[in-house]
Structure 1
């Protein structure tokens, strides 16, 4: 179930508690001439194991740990 080799885990035992994303989660923010904001999110993946695999669900301490970032459009009122 470890994400790294046994040698690395023996040197850094706390790595066993990590669930790693396959790619860095990010967003792209665009602001147009009218100050409307478009946020383009992404759907990512986990490297080997997901939170569901170990039974902790999609949140940790009330914060989403899903492998995704949301897309949002914010329109300025004129």
Structure 2
């Protein structure tokens, strides 16, 4: 990226700002597509369970969210 100034623009979505570069810009529908609704939760597990979860993430090259999502979907699909 060059030393040109970066502009900040307002998106069509209420209260969201975005960076504008020489090409592209803020476009409705741009970016990664959503797979659902995001809700933040806090999860308390033992150290052993956290270690097992982390190993599962590493073994499958997935994020914690992906592994937990897979577990929940598997539980409810049966």
Question: Which interval holds the TM-score relative to the shorter structure?
Answer: under 0.3
More strand by share: 1
Higher helix share: 2
State TM-score, norm by structure 2: 0.22
Provide the TM-score with structure 1 as the length reference: 0.22
Asked which structure has the greater CA Rg, the reply is 2
By relative contact order (CA 8 Å, sep 6+), the higher-ranking structure is: 1
